[in-house]
Chain A
Amino acid sequence: MTRLSVAGLSVAAALLSPLAHPASGATTLVGHIASKTGPQNARAWAVQLMNTGPNTASSAQFGGFTLTQTSGAACTPLVTPPSSFPVVLGDIAPNTAVSANFTIDFTGCPANASFILTIPISADSGATTGTMVRYHQYR
């Protein structure tokens, strides 16, 4: 298993997190991969964060974006986040969502290369935290 990390975040704890989502606390945030588009060397993954709670989530952010390879010939995707980590999404009103586009260069990765995506999520100055985990992700 190859573990790739941008932003140098440890994901061991996140992978063991029993509740993949939503984030805990009074604010309820749910992560979502809205789309994957573009060529292999510039695949764009739009990751959405939706606030399903009753209160505004202040200063919501993605703390990292980690792809851990689980199948296929080993390769090294290169992730380019929309900004340096944490990717700040800003305030999210109830029942609204904010997206961030991550561009990933999967050059050298076979079509059957599969990954676990892990994204730490936080808001409300750390009072709301959680981890979005998606298994069996193809490029």
Chain B
Amino acid sequence: MRSASVSLSLALMVALLAVGTAGAAPTLQLAPTNGALTGSPGATIGWGFTITNSTNYLVVTSASFTPSSALGASTDFIAQYEFVVVGPSPESTSVSQSFNNALQTGTASFAISAGAHPGDSASGTITVTYDLYSVSPNDPDFDPDTDTLSTDNALTAAASISVPAPPTIAKAFGASVTPLDSPTSLTFTLTNPNALLALTGVGVTDALPAGLVVATPNGLTGSCGGSVTAVAGSSTISLSGGTIAAGGQCEFSADVTATSTGTKSNTTGNVESVEGGTGLTASASLDVAPPVQTLGALGIAALAAVVAIAAAAALRRVQP
């Protein structure tokens, strides 16, 4: 009885293994692999694909992107313009195409509405439908009446579209009040609000107000990459060609010195990037106090003489 049970179990395992090896399910892989695309308003972007299928003949019959919100319109490329058959020889068990809008290759295109705004996004699902045949439709002996295995099956993949937002910028002096001619730092903090997209070509120019110049030495530091310019004695600090990781921050800093007293209000130019376009400005102010009066060597000597004379006079008064 036990022997019969073991035999039955083994037979079942063999059967399951046979099913597992014979019927590997078709797969869809988008390019990019996470399905996340970014583009500017009015741009047309899209996904590439890799479809694998090894046990029969798969014919792609449609592709669509169903977004969570209206951000534009998608067009089926994979089935409308291509005849994709995936399967064993003489076909290929893996077929890939990169997206090319001009050649109309890839899974689907997506035309972002011209009225979309930076920061807009839509997520959803790409659905590729396919029919399965036991003989390739490219085979002269193909007969759909007898060779059709199944119709309108679906492969799905998560996808998203987002319109990049520009970087944001904040700035701060090292102190709110500083004496005349005493250097203090001026730090710029740039933030990338896009969770999935790095921003490149990040740049900003800050023209210092009258009475404020880059200190000597300039105390330059930074983590934005690119090029930071702050020439000692000049009145301009700038960043060009910077990069900020997706969802990240970077900063750069230089020392400045006031050459006149009063409140120095300072606003940067607009921060910009290649992907996100032009962002806003940042402002900060610095109060510059008059210098603390100090005694020179002559003053100290005179003060010492006065103290000595006073002390001598005091001694004379106390002597009998």
Contacts and interface: CB of A to CB of B under 8 A. Distances in A.
Contacts of B62: 20-21, 133-135
A67 B61 CA distance: 14
A57 B276 CA distance: 41
B152 A135 contact: no
Interface string B13-49: 0000000000000000000000000000000000000
A46 to B, nearest CB: 9
B144 interface: yes
- Cβ-closest 8 pairs across A and B: A138-B144, A18-B73, A135-B79, A33-B152, A33-B151, A134-B61, A20-B64, A18-B75
Nearest to A139: B144
A133 B62 CA distance: 7
Given A112-B142, A138-B148, A139-B145, A19 B60 contact: no
Given A111-B143, A112-B137, A134 B83 contact: no
Contacts, number: 63
Interface of A: 18-22, 32-36, 39-40, 43, 111-112, 114, 133-139
Contacts of A22: 66
A134 B127 CA distance: 12
9 contacts: A20-B76, A22-B66, A36-B144, A111-B144, A133-B76, A134-B152, A135-B76, A136-B60, A136-B61
B236 interface: no
Contact of A39 (B64, B83, B145): B145
Given A18-B73, A35-B151, A111-B144, A134 B64 contact: no
B97 interface: no
B199 interface: no
Interface in B214-263: none
Contacts of A43: 145
B142 A36 contact: no
B161 to A, nearest CB: 13
B59 interface: yes
